[in-house]
Structure 1
Amino acid sequence: MPALCLVLGLLWTGPVIAESAEIIALGDSLTAGYGLPAEAGFVPQMQAWLVAEGVEAHIVNAGVSGDTTAGALARLDWALAPEADAVIVTLGGNDLLRGLPPEEARANLDTILSRIAARGLPVLLVPITAPGNYGPEYKAAFDAIYIDLAAEHGALLSEPFLAPILVLPDRQAAMTEYVQPDGLHPNAKGVALVVEALGPEVERLLARVK
């Protein structure tokens, strides 16, 4: 009997603890948390949301303020740490601010998604909606980038990053309450709305982690 107990004791090592998945949040100032206290940006608020939901995951902030799709592509190799299990891609806002051609943003995002796919990592692509001041053709071409590339690369596609704010019935009141004075970046309350909308999408992303 003692020998049997010893054998069983050697075979049983206790419950297996799954390691926390690592998500790389690749983006620009919207991801980086521009203009906000460290704890109020998109990544820390999304991390807190996941913890509250009991989700085992760690998000790495790979957002760089001012980054275009070209800038993100240039730093992609070092941004994708070897430990990465999944990627959230939120890019395109600075391409829009500079009025860069939609075909350039499309080509850069296409390459970014291809390189991520080569690593076997699932992706959540978060669109940025073009304003109408560049004309309807520009807007249609830019907005289509995310739909087309998500389909081509098999990436998850969420609603646009700022949609939870922009869909509120009183646009002027929403901008005052949820957006910083620059009119571009959400404040802490605005980020909370974004996180509430994107949280379930991040859970869907994690479900794809192998």
Structure 2
Amino acid sequence: MSLHVWLTFFIAYLLITLSPGPNVLLVIRNTLRYGATGTVIALSGNLLAQLITILLVALGVGTLLSTLPVAFTVLKIVGAAYLIYLGVAQWMASFKNNPAASPVVSDVTSRRPSLWLEAFLVSISNPKTLLFLSAFLPQFLDHTTGLTRQFALMYLTIALIVIGVHSSYALALRRLGHHFQSQRWKVAFSRVSGTLFIGMGIRLVGSRA
């Protein structure tokens, strides 16, 4: 992959990543609740899911999935159901006495596996990501050189972009975090984020390949 092709890929994917989606919303939520630890957990789960997705693209699974509308529909419904589940959970949490507790190290430690799995599933459960990357990545491949190295470079580039963009969101929110410590704001955030997750799930159900 030549330098100008890589730069084109970098800019294109950066613009795509700047658009907020479920992964960004999860990073924002975890950052406000658990601080930097929550940010790292969300990023690591997302990046592993991205790695698996790119491996599937390299193996041609995305192209195969596009020819199997029933399989795509099933995966889409599963992914949408999980997003809606997260949204409902946020709403239910907002009715508890402490829906979004301040960051506590012990609480983060005990919840680390579930938070990581949550981030991983949010990223891996959307089949549209696999279809999109299956159409997007091959445009930048040079078939006269080794494809393995090119896919590896693409993943490293995507990881760099995701870390940079999501960390920027997290850093901005941490600097403003002292404005959002009241119980009323925490309840409002739980309900707004829950509504957004539900909306994203419904939108995924209605989407087409």
TM bracket, shorter-chain basis? under 0.3
Output the TM-score relative to the length of structure 2.
0.24
> Which of the pair is proportionally richer in helix?
2
Q: Which has the higher contact order (CA 8 A, sep 6+)?
A: 2
